[in-house]
Amino acid sequence: MAISGLVLIDSLFIPLEKSLFEPERIASLRIFDKHGTLLREVLSSEEGRGRWCSLKEISPNVINAVIATEDSRFFHHPGVDPMALARATWQNIRARRVVSGGSTISMQVIRNIYHPLRGRRPERTFSQKLWEAWYALRLERMLSKEEVLLQYLNRVPFGNQTFGIDAAARLYFAKPGAQLSIAEAAFLAAIPNSPTMNDPYRHFNHVSERQRYVLSRMKEKGFISEEERERAEHEPLVILPRTAQFKAPHFTTMILSQLSKEEKLGYLEIHTTLDYNVQKTVELLSQSHLARLKRHNVGNGAVVVIDNRAHELVALVGSKDFFDSTSDGQVNGALALRQPGSTLKPFTYGLALENGATAADLLADIPREAGDESIDFLPENYDKKYHGPVRMRTALACSYNVPAVRTVEQFGEEVLLQKLHAAGFESLKEPSSFYGVGLTLGNGEVTLLELCNAYSSLANGGEWSSIRFVDSVKGIGGFKVQGSRFGVCPKGLLRRGSAFEMDSSQFTIPNVFSPQVAYILTDILSDAQARAPAFGVNSSLNLPFPCAAKTGTSKDYKDNWTVGYTPQYTVAVWVGNFNAKPMKMVSGITGAAPLFRDIMLLLHSSNTPALQFSKPEGITGANICPRSGMVVGESCPGEIHEYFIQGSEPKEVCNVHRKFRLDTRNGLLAARNTPQEFVEEKVFEIFPPIFNKWAEEEGIPKPPEVTVTSREQQEKVTVTSLAINSPTSGDVFKLDPILRPEYQTITVESLVAPEVEHVSLWLNGDEVAPLQPPYRFRLPLASLRKGYHTLVLKGKKGLRNVQSEPVQVAVQ
């Protein structure tokens, strides 16, 4: 005890480190938009906006207000006020907890200098107090009373990340600290006691009440007369609206967060790519739409706008209200990791297009009972229905889940994950097995900024680029940095390039898609007709100009997205809640879409009308049967236009719409000798066998299978005289990695009527080989790509061409 006491007294004579009390270095850093509008000015390394002032530059009203309220015997005690401490101790004992600090101005200086989290109140414990008191004594051995006061006035927190009286005066009253009136000085002196509780923006009345207390203390201590007190109490105070303080708050904060402390001190100007005219309107639109969505439990939202051709960020809104800390306003929703719902589906279908599929291909929107037990996971559709055979265009435009998952099954989630990485989704950090095929339904987590830029690459013909935020930087000593030092880089979200020598080649990565694939995706996403079955004909996604768009909703309705593009701009909108609260009654089309629409309309005003998407070389159009996606046959009920990558147009005539001759007397198939007056021709839809169960459930009419050949004899004859006996539809073949490939085959066994000649086996519309009795053929498994394959036998019966029912098998 005696020794520690000696050490303590001894340390009283050890001076505190001098550098701690040096004025904060001031370097004004100004952030501009692309037109030179000042967005934000940062005045000290702590972002405190303030300037280190001398006592002469501070109104005596402030000094009086502070001394009267915080430490009335400041000029008479040695750093610790025994009377104040005694009173505080008595109050604390009575309350059985720390309710009163009894802290002197000197003790508060110590707290602000040493506590690592400036501005936040350290724990109010007795030992903390004792430590502060001891250091305050040491402080006063080093500095004069005036110097201690100066430290206090320049360092104390005034809320809203503001430190020092000058910064506070400029923030709340837009004037320097020297010009504060008695009323204003008392108002500001009311804040440091508890900067959060006394936040003028959130608790103005509370601060006013405390201001009256400060005024009464000033009167009591003789700093002002009763008349002055009364006049000050009635002086109307108007604080500057906080939005006037800095613009595009999430954007500028994002940029500042990229800077090191040295850069913050060394840079004078940052010229960004943001267009404040657009930003301002997007902020207003977001606020009004979020107000509309409040009754749906939607608490927040975020928007990103990218100029596609310049690869520049135009606007960024991170939350409903940056300045509202009660709703996590400072969280930047554009950088938050969220589940993207269906918005990743275009990348799945782009992969399929890349691998030979076409937008006309029939995909299976059917439950998995229908003969493909091999598929582990099949989700429900949004409308909880199955739509049977759907063309890829419809499947994507209507955002059906089942065909998307079946499509991923064909090439596997690993391939999809690699494609998403190429599209800039660096947030998808887990191995593909973690996500599984649900990756296409958005079970991973991505950011709005990544999503926006990935779609921007579709607008740019499949070419991905990093997004620039900063145009140029000017620093102390006149240095200037031009170009893309900041932005979303290929490796890592928001990671900066390696200092100044970064060259643009670092951004060169293989294209996400070819211009042809990107064009077909764009054409589907901007096809109002194609999405009508799911979204109606007059949805918010239909704009008066060409605009590709996709919506998404995460499972449990926690996130709702709309993202889309014109040739000029990509807009991504997220609405939801930062906490896990689900939304109520919000669909892709009612949540984010109306805001998306309004922003698109704003961006393409009469001054900047939207352009048409330009069609690249290597795209051909063709008319197809809308049900089968094949070449229109004479029995097809209509036709629809579709785009194809040159060479991938369908070559086979529709085999879904088939004409049958019926005997009107009994409804059975007519025979060759049925009198012409009783023969009726009727078209039936016959889909590949995988759809049999679905067709049955849907009640799709089937042609009769029995032919009446003559009055004397009724003979059962099959529709054709050719059939594949093995394999059967729905069979799944897996390539065994251990077995030698030449031993792995699919054996095709055929049933052929004796009168049929010239039998041949066809695979996916191409002839494989002519067949001889016993009509057996071994198809090498290794020659088949993963996915579905259709086998058909063709032959001649007399002069007539005949063919078997197709058999569809899957290869994995």
| Site residues for Zn ion per CB under 5 A | 625, 628, 636, 654, 656-657
CB 657 within 8 A of CB 627: yes
Nearer to Zn ion, 298 or 656 (CB): 656
Nearer to Zn ion, 387 or 657 (CB): 657
CB 805 within 8 A of CB 703: no
Nearer to Zn ion, 106 or 635 (CB): 635
Nearer to Zn ion, 35 or 702 (CB): 702
Q: How far is the CB of 322 from Zn ion (least distance, A)?
A: 56
| 672 sits in which H/E element | none
Joined tokens for residue 80: 């610790």
Nearer to Zn ion, 451 or 656 (CB): 656
Joined tokens for residue 99: 């309710």
**C-alpha–C-alpha distance, residues 30 and 478, integer Å:** 15
Nearer to Zn ion, 484 or 628 (CB): 628
Q: How far is the CB of 684 from Zn ion (least distance, A)?
A: 11
CB 209 within 8 A of CB 203: no
Q: How far is the CB of 792 from Zn ion (least distance, A)?
A: 16
Nearer to Zn ion, 656 or 771 (CB): 656
Nearer to Zn ion, 626 or 795 (CB): 626
Closest CA to 320 of 336, 311, 307, 331: 331
**C-alpha–C-alpha distance, residues 553 and 573, integer Å:** 12
The β-bridge partners of 561 are: 552, 574
Helices 60-70, 105-114: inter-axial angle, 10-degree rounding: 100
Q: How far is the CB of 656 from Zn ion (least distance, A)?
A: 5
| 432 sits in which H/E element | helix 432-435
Nearer to Zn ion, 520 or 632 (CB): 632
**Number of other residues whose CB lies within 10 A of the CB of residue 422:** 19
Q: How far is the CB of 685 from Zn ion (least distance, A)?
A: 8
Kindly write down the DSSP assignment for every residue of 218-283, as one continuous string.
Answer: HHHTTSS-HHHHHHHHHS---PPPGGGT-SSHHHHHHHHHTS-HHHHHHEEEEEES--HHHHHHHH
Nearer to Zn ion, 316 or 656 (CB): 656
Q: How far is the CB of 636 from Zn ion (least distance, A)?
A: 3
**C-alpha–C-alpha distance, residues 42 and 407, integer Å:** 51
**C-alpha–C-alpha distance, residues 668 and 628, integer Å:** 26
Q: How far is the CB of 659 from Zn ion (least distance, A)?
A: 11
Q: How far is the CB of 534 from Zn ion (least distance, A)?
A: 23
- Amino acid, single-letter form, for residue 94: R
Nearer to Zn ion, 349 or 687 (CB): 687
Question: From residue 319, how far is each of 283, 343, 446, 602 by CA, in Å?
Answer: 9, 20, 17, 20
Nearer to Zn ion, 80 or 625 (CB): 625
Q: How far is the CB of 638 from Zn ion (least distance, A)?
A: 9
Q: How far is the CB of 623 from Zn ion (least distance, A)?
A: 11
C-alpha torsion sign, points 397, 401, 403, 408: positive
Q: Residue 629 in 3-state DSSP?
A: coil
Query: First CA to last CA across the chain, in angstroms?
Result: 80
Radius of gyration over alpha carbons of the chain, in Å?
A: 37
Q: How far is the CB of 627 from Zn ion (least distance, A)?
A: 5
Nearer to Zn ion, 638 or 737 (CB): 638
Kindly write down the DSSP assignment for every residue of 443-455, as one continuous string.
Answer: -S-B-HHHHHHHH
Nearer to Zn ion, 541 or 656 (CB): 656
Nearer to Zn ion, 69 or 628 (CB): 628
Q: How far is the CB of 625 from Zn ion (least distance, A)?
A: 3
CB 300 within 8 A of CB 409: no
Q: How far is the CB of 654 from Zn ion (least distance, A)?
A: 3
> Between the CA atoms of 366, 369, 374 and 377, what dihedral angle is there, to the nearest 10 degrees?
60
CB 497 within 8 A of CB 483: no
The residue written with tokens 């051709």 in the block is 309
Closest CA to 371 of 761, 781, 744, 727: 727
Nearer to Zn ion, 631 or 809 (CB): 631
DSSP label of 541: T
Q: How far is the CB of 650 from Zn ion (least distance, A)?
A: 11
Q: Using CB atoms within 10 A of its CB, is residue 368 exposed (0-12), middle (13-18) or buried (19+)?
A: middle
Q: How far is the CB of 657 from Zn ion (least distance, A)?
A: 4
Q: How far is the CB of 350 from Zn ion (least distance, A)?
A: 26
**C-alpha–C-alpha distance, residues 232 and 575, integer Å:** 46
CA–centroid distance for 579 within its chain: 16
Q: Per-residue b/e over 276-304, b at no fewer than 16 CB within 10 Å?
A: bebbbbbbebbeebbeebeebebbbbbbb
